[in-house]
């Protein structure tokens, strides 16, 4: 038996458990379906798949609705990362004057549920960047 075979048999493939995929999408509403399929495929065997797909859909909706990514010719980037104990999904947009902020109870009465949903489903979330472009990231740690 060679080392490769024994590695597979013992469940240790011998390469890193860290993986990363990045894809750019045109800033059109109908791309939301494609993004969901992209993330669902990459996380098909992962317990956080459903939550990560719901969250990425909220982040894409925000990129399209609130940032320049949703303007004609706009685009956004989706990144999926996996490691032994968790998953992260992030959406990078082309910027806006306002910042991502989960609404408080009053604002919830008039919409603003998206980032609250993200907050509820993800282990943690956050963003980086400025008015010329931001990345919003959500992390799902394995319990
Ligand atoms: N990627 C983003 N860039 C800039 N501002 C954002 C972004 N995502 C969300 N926001 C801001 O945060 C607010 C709250 O977002 P969200 O909870 O999804 O509610 P909604 O999209 O219904 O307004 C938005 O109204 C918007 O002002
Ligand atoms: Mg929203």
Distance from Cα 20 to the centre of ligand 2, integer Å: 25
Residue 56's SS3 state is helix
Q: What pLDDT, on a 0 to 100 scale, did the predictor assign at position 117?
A: 95
Q: What pLDDT, on a 0 to 100 scale, did the predictor assign at position 2?
A: 44
Spatial CA neighbour of 125 closest among 56, 36, 33, 75: 56
Q: What pLDDT, on a 0 to 100 scale, did the predictor assign at position 134?
A: 98
Report the C-alpha gap between 3 and 59 in whole angstroms: 43
Q: With a 6 A CB cut-off, is 107 part of the ligand 1 pocket? A: no
Report the C-alpha gap between 89 and 136 in whole angstroms: 8
Distance from Cα 114 to the centre of ligand 1, integer Å: 7
Q: What pLDDT, on a 0 to 100 scale, did the predictor assign at position 47?
A: 95
Distance from Cα 137 to the centre of ligand 2, integer Å: 14
Spatial CA neighbour of 59 closest among 2, 128, 124, 135: 135
Axis-axis angle for helices 49-66, 31-42 (nearest 10): 150
Which are the contacts of 105, defined by CB distance < 8 A and separation ≥ 6?
Answer: none
Q: What pLDDT, on a 0 to 100 scale, did the predictor assign at position 104?
A: 72
pLDDT truncated to tens, each residue of the chain (143 aa)? 444 444 444 456 666 789 999 999 999 999 999 999 999 999 999 999 999 999 999 999 999 999 999 999 999 999 999 999 999 999 999 999 999 999 875 655 555 689 999 999 999 999 999 999 999 999 999 87
Note the pTM of the prediction, 2 decimals: 0.89
Domain 15-141 CATH assignment equals 3.30.565.10: yes
């Amino acid at each position: 038996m060679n080392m490769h075979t024994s590695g597979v048999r013992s469940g240790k493939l011998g390469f890193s458990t860290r993986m990363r995929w990045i894809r750019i999408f045109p800033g059109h509403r109908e791309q939301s379906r494609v993004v969901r399929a992209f993330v669902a495929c990459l996380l098909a065997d992962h317990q956080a798949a459903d939550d990560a797909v719901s969250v990425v859909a909220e982040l894409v909706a925000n990129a399209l609705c609130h940032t320049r990514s949703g303007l004609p010719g706009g685009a956004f980037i989706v990144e999926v990362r996996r490691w032994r104990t968790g998953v992260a999904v992030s959406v990078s947009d082309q910027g806006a004057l306002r910042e991502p902020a989960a609404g408080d109870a009053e604002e919830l009465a008039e919409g603003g549920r998206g980032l609250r949903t993200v907050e509820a489903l993800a282990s943690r979330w956050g963003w980086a960047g400025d008015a010329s472009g931001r990345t919003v990231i959500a992390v799902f740690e394995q319990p």
